[in-house]
Amino acid sequence: MSFLVQQIINFGVSEGTLALILMVPVVATFIAFSRQIIGIRGLGIYITLIIAYAFVATKLKYGLVIFLVVVITGSLVRLLLKKARLLYLPKMAIILTSVAFSIFLMFLLGSFLSIEGLQIISIFPILIMILMAERFVAVQIERGQKMAIFLTLETVVLAIISYYIINWSWLGQILLKYPLQSFLILFLFNFLLGKWTGLRLTEYFRFKELMEYLEVSKK
């Protein structure tokens, strides 16, 4: 373990918290890489990252359930309110109210069925998910239903992979051992990524036919 890390831990910060912080750049890099090199768009770096961390805090199983509850409730209520013609903020407030209410119901159901583990989930990951409802609904309005579903699915997949990266203890140990080096490497890597102008992996599929044609005509 790096003596810098030791210094912080001696100060009283837990090793787990420190590892989670050191993981932020790794996950951010992973999301940037997925967009620029692979071509998975998702809903952006912020939403994906924060959902991944919410999953870590709630355990994946419950995280996914809460996520589903939030997205479905949010979308349904938006559709119901569409005809009513409300101003944006009151409309959002109603959507957030219904999402909070459905989480309330979820806990109630959990208590009746005495589902273990549900009760110990802390407030912050749940709050994060509830607030995410606003983004999902906004994307639905802006980009249309089909696109919103697609982007949300991409985001969930990225968040799940990020979840496993964060929980990868070997990587956590490495980061605690070489914190400065990892910052530097990730910084350089992202700098190069930012200058990358090559085709994305998904574009190789998108333009496959075009490329086959170009190849024939060049010969």
Smallest separation (angstroms) from other proteins to the CB of 31: 15
Distances (CA, A) of 173 to 18, 53, 56, 169: 11, 18, 17, 6
Q: How far is CA 56 from the centre of its chain?
A: 11
CB atoms within 10 A of CB 192: 8
Smallest separation (angstroms) from other proteins to the CB of 142: 6
For residues 14 and 19, give the distance between their C-alpha atoms in angstroms, rounded to a whole number: 9
Token pair of 175 as six digits: 């980061």
Smallest separation (angstroms) from other proteins to the CB of 131: 16
Contacts (Cβ under 8 Å, ≥6 apart) of 56: 20, 163, 166, 167
- Contact residues for other proteins (CB under 8 A)? 36, 39, 85, 87-88, 138, 141-144, 194-200, 203-204, 206-211, 213-215, 218
- Going by the DSSP 8-state scheme, the letter that residue 121 receives in this structure is -
44: three-class secondary structure by DSSP: coil
Smallest separation (angstroms) from other proteins to the CB of 138: 6
Q: Based on CB atoms, which residue is closest to other proteins, 114 or 217?
A: 217
